[in-house]
Amino acid sequence: MRRRAARDQQRLDSGAVSSPKDLENLQHEIASLAKRQGDLEDIVLEVMERRESAQQRVAELTERVASVQSRIDDVTARRDSALEEIDGEAASVTKEREVVAASVPADLLKLYEKLREQQGGIGAAKLQARTCQGCRQELAITELNEIRQAAPDAVVRCENCRRILVRTAESGL
């Protein structure tokens, strides 16, 4: 467009065009090309500003992504560490359980496993302050009297949830 405007201006300045109508058309075309060039330059400037703004936004978002990824990496590392700790603790507890289970009579262990399966993983519950910690129900006075009179090694069960009750000093007997 610039070359065309320069060429037209050169033709106008050279005097090669003698017809007034052609001169007027040539001047009009030069003015039109200058206006079009100005419009295109404005568009280019606007595009450059938008590009710069977009580049800044990309840089901000890239920084945010890096920050979020850093947090994800940190949380993932903490999760993995916690899982390792839980796995180690589970292995330790499993070994302890095996040792304790070996000392429990087979029929009691069988009853416990059956109750555990029926009761969502809890086959025995602590009797604390006259309340079964399995179902959170306070035992009736008659039940408590029966438990008091039972032998220390007798297996007693909750009348409400049927779990094995573990008696301690906190049982309220």
Residue by residue, DSSP assigns the chain as -HHHHHHHHHHHHHT----HHHHHHHHHHHHHHHHHHHHHHHHHHHHHHHHHHHHHHHHHHHHHHHHHHHHHHHHHHHHHHHHHHHHHHHHHHHHHHHHHHHHS-HHHHHHHHHHHHHTTT--EEEEETTEETTT-PBPPHHHHHHHHHS-TTS-EE-TTT-PEEEE-GGG--
81 pLDDT tier (thresholds 50, 70, 90): very high
What pLDDT is stored for residue 28 in this prediction? 85
What pLDDT is stored for residue 27 in this prediction? 80
What pLDDT is stored for residue 93 in this prediction? 95
Q: Which residue has the higher pLDDT, 66 or 149?
A: 66
Q: What residues have CB less than 8 Å from 125, skipping those under 6 apart? A: 132, 133, 134, 135, 158, 161, 163, 164, 165, 166
Average confidence (pLDDT) over 19-25: 77
The answer on pLDDT for 51 being more than 80 is yes
What pLDDT is stored for residue 101 in this prediction? 87
Average confidence (pLDDT) over 122-150: 90
What pLDDT is stored for residue 82 in this prediction? 97
The answer on pLDDT for 16 being more than 90 is no
What pLDDT is stored for residue 33 in this prediction? 85
What pLDDT is stored for residue 50 in this prediction? 95
The answer on pLDDT for 97 being more than 90 is no
What pLDDT is stored for residue 32 in this prediction? 87
Q: pTM of the entire structure?
A: 0.49
17 pLDDT tier (thresholds 50, 70, 90): low
127 contacts 171 by C-beta, under 8 angstroms: yes
Compute how many other C-beta atoms are within 10 angstroms of the C-beta atom of residue 159: 15
